[in-house]
């Protein structure tokens, strides 16, 4: 069955996704379900107010008052998304005039798109992206949002936030809104570039926006805090953000060590590598989600694994941008936590992200089953990892199916040929 889960990219439909409160009591009888303890048969799930009230295994399958399902698995958290970039997918695949395309040349094209998107356009793009996420097994999303101002600044920063929240409500996906502080162009560039100005806020403006989002959300949205990166945020500003995050016990997200150039620039500025400096100057804990961490050293990796932070990996985006590969096996061997994200939306499919994650490691190491635990299937190992890490990173507790957890469920089509031969 675990093999089928990883391969069943077209074999599911959404069964019951109700992150909102006030919903009806529903009882679902699943022929098979993937619980926090593993696979179980004849599983009765009692659901109320969007939460799983109780889980009963090996239950009476003859009752007629239940909704029935074949194979039920948890929905996956998309722990890192830039929804607006869905409009760019496939439009940056031509070789540029220099003959060498990198993350930095891709970024220039992203800036051009960002300069055109207003709140109405963002709502439409996000609605499409969120719908696609739901259709393939993501049931929640952390929207890492730095597109704060509209072109022309007509409606203020709240309009862009509400566009994201409206798209989430319209589609039914569980939203973690992560507004992002972006205040400078680089370690030695104290002002944002012209292309970055609509991203930029002062720390005071950012905290005001964060508190506005917390006060005006419809109650179904988790609000976190994002710092774009060490190159885009000063140390003093990051200190203020972490103080607010600690006060409110909310998720704290940041890009880190995605590009080797960023590592070199950080060392030149702080005499330390990015993760090294973060660990030295701050105390990240299990509220932190560090995105990419591609160019992390073994020493940094060992220290980071001890603090409980989640590393969010975005394999299809990292491959598309030519970033590099995260040292996955070393991280898992130290008990490190992972989540996955669709990031630039070049691929929207959690199982393809897991496949890319594993296969990239295989190509690099010229060996197989890199993510597998002892006596565990690679697909199951990866799924269990991202269920735990994704719920933690998004701050809503969704993850493995258990009593008291959110009822974010996906059902697999038991008759799909993709599941043939994987019935136990």
Spot the catalytic one: 209, 343, 396, 408: 343
Q: How far are the Cα atoms of 46, 92, 111, 295 from residue 105, in angstroms, in the given order?
A: 51, 9, 10, 19
Spot the catalytic one: 82, 145, 228, 292: 292
* CA 318/CA 313 separation, integer angstroms: 8
Helix (H) or strand (E) holding 177: strand 174-181
* CA 232/CA 245 separation, integer angstroms: 18
Q: Catalytic annotation on 248?
A: no
* CA 173/CA 396 separation, integer angstroms: 12
* CA 124/CA 144 separation, integer angstroms: 17
**Which residues make beta-bridge pairs with 33?**
40, 72
Is residue 211 within 8 A of residue 185, CB to CB? The reply is: no
Is residue 216 within 8 A of residue 166, CB to CB? The reply is: no
The residues, any chain, with a CB within 8 Å of residue 325's CB and separated by 6 or more, are 294, 318, 360, 361, 364
Q: Catalytic annotation on 148?
A: no
Q: What is the pairing mode between strands 12-17 and 252-256?
A: unpaired
Q: Which of 387, 305, 291, 279 is nearest to 343 (CA)?
A: 291
Q: How far are the Cα atoms of 82, 157, 160, 161, 217 from residue 209, in angstroms, in the given order?
A: 18, 8, 11, 9, 12
Catalytic machinery residues: 292, 343
């Amino acid at each position: 069955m675990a093999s089928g889960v990883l391969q069943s990219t077209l074999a599911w439909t959404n069964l019951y996704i109700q992150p909102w409160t006030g919903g009806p009591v529903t009882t679902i009888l699943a022929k098979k379900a993937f619980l926090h303890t593993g696979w179980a048969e004849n599983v009765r799930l009692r659901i109320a107010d969007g939460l799983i009230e109780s889980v009963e295994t090996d239950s009476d399958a003859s009752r007629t008052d239940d909704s029935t399902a074949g194979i039920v698995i948890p929905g996956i958290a998309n722990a890192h998304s830039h929804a607006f970039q869905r409009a760019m997918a496939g439009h940056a695949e031509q070789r540029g005039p220099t003959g060498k395309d990198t993350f930095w040349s891709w970024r220039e094209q992203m800036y051009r798109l960002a300069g055109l998107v207003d709140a109405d356009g963002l709502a439409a793009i996000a609605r499409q992206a969120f719908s696609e996420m739901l259709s393939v097994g993501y049931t929640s999303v952390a929207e890492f949002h730095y597109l704060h101002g509209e072109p022309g600044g007509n409606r203020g920063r709240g309009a862009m936030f509400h566009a994201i929240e409206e798209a989430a409500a319209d589609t039914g996906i569980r939203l973690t809104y992560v507004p992002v502080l972006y205040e400078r162009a680089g370690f030695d560039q104290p002002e944002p570039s012209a292309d970055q100005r609509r991203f930029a806020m002062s720390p005071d403006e950012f905290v005001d926006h964060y508190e506005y989002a917390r006060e005006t959300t419809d109650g179904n949205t988790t609000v976190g805090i994002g710092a774009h990166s060490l190159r885009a945020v000063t140390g003093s500003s990051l200190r203020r953000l972490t103080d607010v995050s600690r006060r409110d016990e909310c998720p704290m997200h940041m890009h880190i060590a995605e590009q080797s150039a960023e590592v070199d620039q950080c060392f030149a500025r702080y005499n330390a590598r990015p993760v090294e400096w973060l660990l030295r100057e701050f105390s990240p804990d299990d509220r932190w989600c560090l995105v990419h961490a591609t160019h992390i050293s073994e020493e940094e990796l060992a220290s980071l694994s001890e603090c409980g932070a989640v590393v969010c990996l975005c394999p299809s985006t990292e491959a598309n941008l030519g970033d590099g590969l995260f040292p996955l096996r070393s991280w898992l061997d130290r008990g490190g936590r992972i989540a996955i994200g669709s990031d630039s939306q070049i691929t929207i499919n959690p199982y393809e992200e897991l496949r890319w994650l594993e296969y990239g490691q295989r190509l690099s190491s010229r060996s197989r089953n890199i993510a597998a635990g002892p006596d565990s299937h690679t697909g199951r190992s990866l799924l269990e990892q991202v269920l735990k890490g994704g719920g933690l990173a998004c701050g809503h507790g969704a993850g493995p199916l258990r009593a008291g957890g959110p009822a974010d469920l996906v059902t697999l089509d038991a008759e799909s040929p993709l599941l043939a031969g994987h019935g136990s």
